Amino acid sequence: MGKKEECILYSGGANGAEYEFGVQAERFGIEEIHFTFEGSDIARTRGVRVLSREELRNGDVSLSYVSRLMNRTYSDAPRIRKVLQTIWYQVNAGQEIYVIGKILEDKTVRGGTGWGAEFAKLCNKPIFVFDQDADRWFRWAEERWVEVTDAGEPRIRSPRFTGTGTRFLEENGRLAIRELFERSYA
């Protein structure tokens, strides 16, 4: 993993899970980079990286492709497109991906966060999801979600990692993020 001083959290700085990932990164002296766009409302102010129109285009993806992959419909609203483009940057930058949310029956993760999880799968990056309803961590392995049963896991092992997730963070999700950082950096 390297020294804490060399580690970077990539996130979006939004209310909920991303805010808490940032709080814990700051608590442990880890650099934060929050990808966002002009006009977005973000909760974290430390490490904000506003992407230009050109940079956003680099992370552009077909909404019809994402809709098919995710088994749901994403409107062509400019805001949704920009959110998905910033998620592309978060996942692209991180070597490991940590998500707080809910795993659905079709193996996708609920909400816009789900695109981050699917993109991480496509990039073959280690991905962990804390399912707030199930109150436990899962990792993606061989085309399915597998419950993490080792008490010492998951643990951040890469110096560049992504933390993202739902805006509707529950207390167990907040605790899961806090404990992830404590296991990894204490």
* Residue 5 DSSP symbol: G
Q: Return the pLDDT at 114.
A: 82
Residue 80 has pLDDT above 90, yes or no: no
Phi, psi of 38 (to 5 degrees): -55, 130
Residue 133 has pLDDT above 80, yes or no: yes
Strand partners, 98: 128, 163
Q: Return the pLDDT at 124.
A: 92
pLDDT-based confidence at residue 22 (cuts at 50, 70, 90):
very high
- Written as six digits, the tokens of 76 are 């062509």
Strands 8-11 and 31-37: parallel
Query: CA 149, 136, 83: angle at the middle one, nearest 5?
Result: 125
Q: Return the pLDDT at 2.
A: 59
Residue 70 has pLDDT above 80, yes or no: no
Q: Return the pLDDT at 97.
A: 96
Residue 95 has pLDDT above 70, yes or no: yes
Residue 36 has pLDDT above 80, yes or no: yes
Q: Return the pLDDT at 66.
A: 60
Residue written as tokens 């098919």? Answer: 68
C-alpha 25/C-alpha 108 separation (Å) is: 27
**Domain spans, the chain:** 4-185
Q: How far apart are the first and last CA of the chain?
A: 13
Q: Indicate the SS3 state at residue 149.
A: coil
- Provide the b/e sequence for 143-173 (b: ≥16 CB within 10 Å): eebeebeeeeebebebbbbbbbbbeebeeeb
Under CATH, which architecture does the 4-185 domain have? 3-Layer(aba) Sandwich (3.40)
pTM reported for the whole predicted model: 0.90
- Residue 85: what residue type? Q
90-105: average pLDDT: 95
Q: Return the pLDDT at 161.
A: 97
